[in-house]
Amino acid sequence: LAGFFFQLPTLRKMLWTDIDAAYEGDPAAKSYEEIILAYPALEAITIQRMAHELYLQELPLIPRIMTEWAHSRTGIDIHPGAKIGSHFFIDHGTGVVIGETCEIGTRVKLYHGVTLGARSFQKDEGGKIKKG
């Protein structure tokens, strides 16, 4: 658990990049305060980032409970094992599902109804999802 507390300064910096991505990526955003207090996606991302750090500490169950709680509040389902880079923003996030195997780079913006990281799709030898 000490590892989680050592990661808090890094986590705080990462969350500021997410807030900035929301402000820059959403023309309707009026202020940073609005994003922090009224954007469900930021709530889901914040909880996932904290849960991810606990997940890396191999704490059983607690990270999953955290992200399921966020899912019930926001409609955005992000597994605590997903790896998400900085400057991440979800606009109109209802129905977004990000699975445990998902790796998202930096400066990514998602919209509603996206599913990432499912293992059940057939893939070719290069790892690309196949039709069918």
Q: What residue segments make up the domains of the chain, in order of their start?
A: 2-116
Kindly provide the residue ranges of all beta strands, DSSP E only, lying in 1-132, ordered along the sequence.
77-78, 83-84, 89-91, 97-98, 103-104, 109-111, 115-116
- pTM for this prediction: 0.87
- pLDDT band, residue 130 (cuts 50/70/90): low
Answer whether 45's CB lies under 8 Å from 91's CB.
no
Structure confidence by residue, pLDDT tens digits, 75-96 = 999 999 999 999 999 999 999 9
Please check whether the domain covering 2-116 is classified as CATH 1.10.3130.10: yes
pLDDT (0 to 100) of residue 121:
62
User: Which of 36-45, 57-66, 81-90, 116-125 is predicted with the least confidence, judged by mean pLDDT?
Assistant: 116-125
pLDDT (0 to 100) of residue 44:
99
DSSP-based three-state secondary structure for 47: helix
Structure confidence by residue, pLDDT tens digits, 46-70 = 999 999 999 999 998 999 999 999 9
DSSP-based three-state secondary structure for 64: helix
In percent, the amount of the chain with pLDDT more than 70 equals: 89
Closest CA to 53 of 98, 3, 105: 3
Closest CA to 75 of 107, 114, 36: 114
